[in-house]
Amino acid sequence: MKYVIVGNSTAAVGAVEAIRKNDTAGSIVIISNERYHVYSRPLISYLLMGKTDENRMKYRGDSFYSDNNCELMLNKTAVRIDPDKKLVHLDDGTAVSYDRLLLCTGASPVIPPVPGLDKVRNRFTFTTLDDARALNDALRENSRVLIMGAGLIGLKCAEGISKRNVSISCVDLAPRILSSILDDESAEIVKRHLEEHGIRFYLNRRVTEFEEGTAYLDDNTPVRFDVLVIAVGVRPNISLLKDIGGKTNRGIIIDERCRTSIPDIYAAGDCCESMDISSEEPKVMALLPNAYMQGECAGMNMSGVDFVFDRAIPMNSIGLFGKHIMTAGTYTGDVYCETRHGSCKKLFYSNNRLNGFILVENTEKAGIYTSLIRERTPLDTIDFELICKVPGLMAFSRKTRAEKLGGVRGGATNETIGA
Amino acid sequence: MKRVYVNEQWCLGCHLCEYFCAFASTNEKDMARALKDVRISPRIRIEEKDGISFAVSCRHCNEPLCVKSCITGALTKVNGIIMIDRDRCIGCYTCILSCPYGAVYPSEDGAIQKCELCIKTREGTPRCVTGCPNGAIVFEERGE
Taking an 8 Å cut-off on Cβ atoms, the answer to whether A289 and B68 are in contact is yes
Residues 6+ apart with CB under 8 A from B126: B4, B24, B115, B117, B118, B139
Residue ranges in chain B modelled with pLDDT below 70? 122-123, 144
Q: What percent of chain A stands above pLDDT 70?
A: 97
Provide the pLDDT confidence category of residue A152 given band limits of 50, 70 and 90: very high
Q: Are A397 and B46 contacting, i.e. CB atoms less than 8 angstroms apart?
A: no
- A236/A245 Cα distance (integer angstroms): 16
Answer whether residue A92 shows pLDDT above 90: yes
CB atoms within 10 A of CB B11: 21
Mean pLDDT to the nearest integer, A365-386: 97
Closest CA to A268 of B61, B68, B78, B88: B68
Chain centroid offset of residue A313 CA: 12
Q: Which of A59, A317, A328 sits opposite B73 (nearest CB)?
A: A59
Asked whether A328 and A278 are in contact (CB, 8 A), the reply is yes
Q: How confident is the model over A69-80, as a mean pLDDT? A: 98
Long-range contacts of A330-336 (CB under 8 A, 24+ apart): A330/A276, A330/A278, A330/A279, A330/A355, A330/A356, A331/A183, A331/A355, A331/A356, A331/A358, A332/A279, A332/A356, A336/A388
What's the average model confidence in pLDDT over A303-320? Answer: 97
Work out the average pLDDT over A91-107: 98
Query: Does position A57 have pLDDT exceeding 80, yes or no?
Result: yes
Mean pLDDT computed over every residue of chain A = 95
**A44-to-A129, A153, A295, A338, A379 alpha-carbon distances in Å:** 6, 10, 22, 33, 39
Domains, chain A, in order of start with CATH, read 2-42+57-108+235-302 (3.50.50.60), 117-232 (3.50.50.60), 322-406 (3.30.390.30)
Nearest residue, CB atoms, B63 vs list A52, A57, A411: A411
For residue A367, give the nearest of B49, B92, B97 by CB distance: B97
Amino acid at B31: M
Burial state string for A325-348 with b = 16 or more CB within 10 A and e = fewer than 16: bbbbbbbeeeebeeeeeebbbbbb
Distance, CA of A9 to CA of A30 (rounded, Å): 10
Task: State how far the Cα of A339 lies from the Cα of A346, in Å rounded to an integer.
Answer: 8
Amino acid found at A173: L
What pLDDT does residue A411 have?
56
A322-354 pLDDT, tens digit each = 999 999 999 999 999 999 989 999 999 999 999
Provide the edge-to-edge strand list for the sheet that holds A207-211.
A207-211, A214-217, A222-224
The beta strand positions in A351-410, using DSSP E, are 353-360
Task: Measure the CA–CA gap between A88 and A102, rounded to whole angstroms.
Answer: 11
Name the β-bridge partners of A43. none
pLDDT at A419 over 50: no
**CB atoms < 10 A from the CB of A16, how many?**
26
Residues B122, B125, B127: CA angle, nearest 5 degrees: 75
- Determine the Cα–Cα distance for residues A304 and A271; give it in Å rounded to an integer: 23
At residue A412 the predicted structure's pLDDT band, cuts being 50, 70 and 90, is low
Q: At what angle do helices A152-161 and A129-138 cross, to 10 degrees?
A: 40
- Of A262, A231, A227, the C-alpha closest to A123 is A227
Beta-bridge partner residues of A201: A170
Going A115 to A119 to A120 to A125, the CA torsion angle's sign is positive
CB contact under 8 A, A411 and B94: no
Burial A207-223 (b: 16+ CB within 10 A, else e): beebeebebbbeeeeeb
Rounded to 5°, the CA angle A217-A221-A224 comes to 90
* Residue range B61-114, CATH number: 3.30.70.20
Q: Do A319 and B63 touch (CB under 8 A)?
A: no
Assess contact for A307 and A257: CB atoms under 8 A. Answer: yes
Beta bridge partners of residue A210, listed in sequence order: A215
Cβ contact B49–A293 (<8 Å): no
Cβ atoms of B44 and B115 within 8 Å: the answer is: yes
Mean pLDDT over residues A372-386, rounded? 97
Subunit contact A386:B91, Cβ cutoff 8 A: no
Neighbours of A182 (CB within 10 A): 23
Closest by Cβ to A368, choosing from B100, B105, B142: B100
Probe site for chain B from A293, A300, A393, A409 (most B CB atoms < 10 A): A393
Specify the pTM. Answer: 0.95
Question: A319 vs B105: CB contact, 8 Å cut-off?
Answer: no
Residue from A408, A413, A416, A417 to probe the interface with B (highest B Cβ count within 10 Å)? A408
CA distance A222 to A211: 10
Parse chain B into domains and list their residue ranges.
1-57+118-144, 61-114
Count how many residues are written for chain B.
144
Q: Which of A290-299, A393-402, B84-93, B115-124 has the lowest mean pLDDT?
A: B115-124
